[in-house]
Amino acid sequence: MNTLAPRMQRASGESRVAFAVRDGETRLTDLYQRDPCRILFPDPEPGEPPQAVLVTTSGGIAGGDVLKMAVEVGPSAHAVVATQAAEKIYRAALSSEPCTIAVDLAVGEGAILDWLPQETIVFEGSRLKRRTVAEVAAGGSLLACEMVVLGRAASGERFTGGLLLDAWSVRRGGKLLWTDTLRVEGETPLGAGFGTANALATVIGVWDAPQPRFETARGLLEAADKVRAGVTLVNGVMVARLLGEATEVRAATIAFLTGFRGQRLPRVWHI
């Protein structure tokens, strides 16, 4: 028996949510959820777009789990999607397959999606492969944030013996605009690696006219003094990075996104 694996039963969860404009307003048009993936719909603040909050009811993800999440925002619709809590990836038995998470984001013509999940914490010895693919139609806008924390930072845990593969692709009109894969396996490297940082947040933006947004982001990030932050506009995609100690990166990311969006992050971020 393998004592490292608390559950022999591996989870295979899925959630799918779609928004579209009906009668001049963004409405929920499709919803599918299979445990441990659930979706909540808190009332948005007055004047704000509909919100979906993804929940992993198992409280965390273990080796071999397979999760799929899909978000679709139809033409001219506007939605905000977040996660209820930080996603925890538990230590996996060495023999087990990595857990895999597939995230599909589809943004229609003239639609706006704010994809704002909270941080993913990879525990020491955990093994995760996550692939996020965003397909943004012409005229569509996407603002996406991902933050990963290596080890349970609060208890001083380091990440020295696991696998984190976090892949991002942004497609527009069927063409691959930008892609990047973070792969941390075992110790983080010296030199150009993480330095003393244990957390990295990435904010990705896609718009028809990205230049002014990029300049706004650059101005906001110049104020981030407790993390190493910067932003670029590569192949028409805005990519901002915040690297540092986990609590500082979270605080700086919240400050940046709040300033950038000109409104508070969804309530789940503040609980």
The rounded distance, in Å, linking the Cα atoms of 249 and 256 is: 10
The reply on whether position 2 binds another protein by CB under 8 A is no
Size of the site for another protein (CB under 8 A): 37
Of 66, 102, 177, 254, which lies in the binding site for another protein, with binding defined by CB under 8 A? Answer: 177
The reply on whether position 166 binds another protein by CB under 8 A is yes
The reply on whether position 195 binds another protein by CB under 8 A is yes
- Which region, judged by CB under 8 A, interacts with another protein, from 38-46, 68-76, 85-93, 189-197? 189-197
**240 near 221, Cβ under 8 Å?**
yes
The reply on whether position 128 binds another protein by CB under 8 A is no
Contacts of 97 (CB under 8 A, 6+ apart): 63, 64, 127
Nearest in space to 105 (alpha carbons), one of 147, 67, 142, 56? 142
Contacts of 262 (CB under 8 A, 6+ apart): none
Radius of gyration of the chain (CA): 18
The reply on whether position 239 binds another protein by CB under 8 A is yes
Minimum CB separation from another protein for residue 233, in Å?
A: 6
DSSP 162: -
**117 near 86, Cβ under 8 Å?**
no
The reply on whether position 183 binds another protein by CB under 8 A is yes
Q: Taking the chain, what is the end-to-end CA distance rounded to the nearest angstrom?
A: 39
The reply on whether position 102 binds another protein by CB under 8 A is no
Which residues inside 12-51 make contact with another protein, applying CB under 8 A? Answer: none
Helices 246-261 and 211-221 sit at what angle, rounded to 10 degrees?
A: 140
The rounded distance, in Å, linking the Cα atoms of 204 and 231 is: 9
Q: Which C-beta is closer to another protein: that of 109 or that of 187?
A: 187
DSSP 122: E
Of 16, 68, 241, 267, which lies in the binding site for another protein, with binding defined by CB under 8 A? Answer: 241
Minimum CB separation from another protein for residue 74, in Å?
A: 26
Pattern 218-237, binding to another protein, x per CB under 8 A? Answer: x---------x-xxxxxx--
Q: Which C-beta is closer to another protein: that of 6 or that of 195?
A: 195
**105 near 141, Cβ under 8 Å?**
no
The reply on whether position 191 binds another protein by CB under 8 A is yes
Output phi, psi for 121, to 5 deg. Answer: -105, 115
- Which region, judged by CB under 8 A, interacts with another protein, from 17-25, 68-76, 182-190, 257-265? 182-190
Q: Which C-beta is closer to another protein: that of 95 or that of 181?
A: 181
Contact residues for another protein, defined by CB under 8 A: 131, 165-167, 169, 175-185, 188-195, 197, 200, 218, 228, 230-235, 239, 241, 243
